[in-house]
Structure 1
Amino acid sequence: MDNSWHARFGSEHYVYGEEPNQFVKEQSYRLEKGSKIAAFAEGEGRNAVYLARQGHEVTAYDYAENGLNKTEALAERYDVKVSTVLKDLIHDSVPVEEFDAAIMVFGHFRKNDQKNIFGKLVSTVKPGGIILLEVYSEDQVHYGTGGPKTVEMLYDPSDVLEWIKGHKNLHFFYGEQERVEGELHTGTGHVIQVIIKNMKQNEQ
């Protein structure tokens, strides 16, 4: 896996903007006050910093060091603390049952890695904790408003529904949403949204 993201995040400019993802912003009310939250594939930190500003204890995971550096800079600007961890989420292990909640916004992974990543996202959350996800669906290839250009890097809603079996489904959405997130995610896109409560004892 090449680290093109490290290069993409190399400028001072925040390519996905500095404001949080709208779905995270709208749904953050579900998180208990002072929650310990893991942010997977967090990029430049816009969601992690937003949640830290709401009083949560946030750890941002990404494998692009430039992205984590920008996360720390954004957190400093808002006078909050976000822990950053350089991690290859495909190959590296993650803490088990350490967090009250976990989020992933537009985590771009190949199909043969997507279930593994989702499993890790769930495993890092304590039983009863919340997992919040927004990703581009396969239909996004027809929109041209951001995200991967191939179906191989996008998500099938039937796969996602299979992954969340056994958990309490609080929210599932498959369809169009307007997103204005910097220069790379702007306009009408086609997304999958999931919010579940972790109802399984983790086996890792």
Structure 2
Amino acid sequence: MDRQDWDARYRAAELLWGAEPNRRLVRECADLPPGRALDLAAGEGRNAIWLAGRGWQVTALDFSAVALERGRALAAAGPPGAADRITWTVADARTAAPVPGGYDLVLLAYLHLPAAGRRAALRHAADGLAPGGTLLVIGHDSTNLAEGVGGPQDPAVLFTPDDVLADLAGVGLTTVRAERVHRTVPAPDGHGTAGRAVDALVRMRRPDTP
């Protein structure tokens, strides 16, 4: 989907991804001390707002201006002070080069691209990590097509933890966690569940400066 397609998709829904932060982000990052965060493909900002509510200074980047406008409105009604701690940036994660070493946390949540685009986004993300910084990647795993529910149905944009590690080989990050995780997917009518989805979760860290 191109920028116009995503703008149209966001216009067609009140909140495409909901207002609650991703549960894996909460689990992995709740204990991190607030610093500077970059949320790549931030969408309507649910994760950026959660981080800002915890004191992080967040750059929320997405190539859909419609999504980011939704994010601004959501942040204004969110935790006190959160809106003032978020910078909303319209840009493409595949080409946007963050300030080298500028962030203590970089998040890529459900950014699904063909392999070359994914690799470019991940490499930019790694470049943006400060010493001691955390990179967190979450997305629909390739096995979700056969073993899970929901998510993209194009295998070319799905990935595994090993794919992420291969994309980031040689960039100087250490692996904290690289695994498949499961989550329950609510039924479309809001009653019961549709099943379980399989996600890829990778957490990496840039070593502290000696």
What's the TM-score once normalised by structure 1's chain length?
0.87
Q: 5 Å matches for 1:1-204?
A: 2-3=2-3, 4-11=5-12, 13-32=14-33, 34-78=34-78, 79=80, 80-81=82-83, 82-142=86-146, 145-165=149-169, 166-179=172-185, 187-199=195-207
Paired amino acid for 2:117: D
Cα distance in 2 for partners of 1:109, 1:31 equals: 28
Gap runs ≥5 in structure 1: none
Give the CA deviation at 1:26. 1.0
Equivalent pair of 1:40/1:61 in contact (CA under 8 Å):
yes
Cα distance in 1 for partners of 2:121, 2:208 equals: 16
Q: Percent identity?
A: 24
Give CA deviations for 1:89-136 in whole Å, capped at 9, x if unaligned: 223333221111111110111112111111111111112211111111
CA separation of 1:198 and 1:189: change in aligned 2, threshold 3 A: same
Give the CA deviation at 1:191. 0.9
Paired amino acid for 2:2: D
Give the CA deviation at 1:175. 3.9
Cα distance in 1 for partners of 2:13, 2:148 equals: 25
Cα distance in 1 for partners of 2:57, 2:208 equals: 23
Paired amino acid for 2:184: E
Equivalent pair of 2:41/2:63 in contact (CA under 8 Å):
yes
Equivalent pair of 2:95/2:120 in contact (CA under 8 Å):
no
SS at match of 1:9: helix
Which structure would you say has the larger Rg?
A: 2
Paired amino acid for 1:72: R
Equivalent pair of 1:17/1:182 in contact (CA under 8 Å):
no
Paired amino acid for 1:10: R
Give CA deviations for 1:130-162 in whole Å, capped at 9, x if unaligned: 111111111122356332111101113322222
Gap runs ≥5 in structure 2: none
Equivalent pair of 1:135/1:193 in contact (CA under 8 Å):
yes
Cα distance in 2 for partners of 1:145, 1:187 equals: 6
SS at match of 2:184: strand
What do you get for the CA RMSD once the two structures are aligned?
2.4
Cα distance in 1 for partners of 2:112, 2:12 equals: 20
Large movers: runs of 4+ above 4 Å? 179-183
What's the TM-score once normalised by structure 2's chain length?
0.85
Equivalent pair of 1:14/1:182 in contact (CA under 8 Å):
no
CA separation of 1:157 and 1:9: change in aligned 2, threshold 3 A: same
SS at match of 2:126: helix
SS at match of 2:96: coil
Paired amino acid for 2:144: Q
Equivalent pair of 2:93/2:121 in contact (CA under 8 Å):
yes
CA separation of 1:164 and 1:101: change in aligned 2, threshold 3 A: same
Cα distance in 1 for partners of 2:201, 2:132 equals: 19
Cα distance in 2 for partners of 1:38, 1:69 equals: 17
Give the CA deviation at 1:198. 1.5
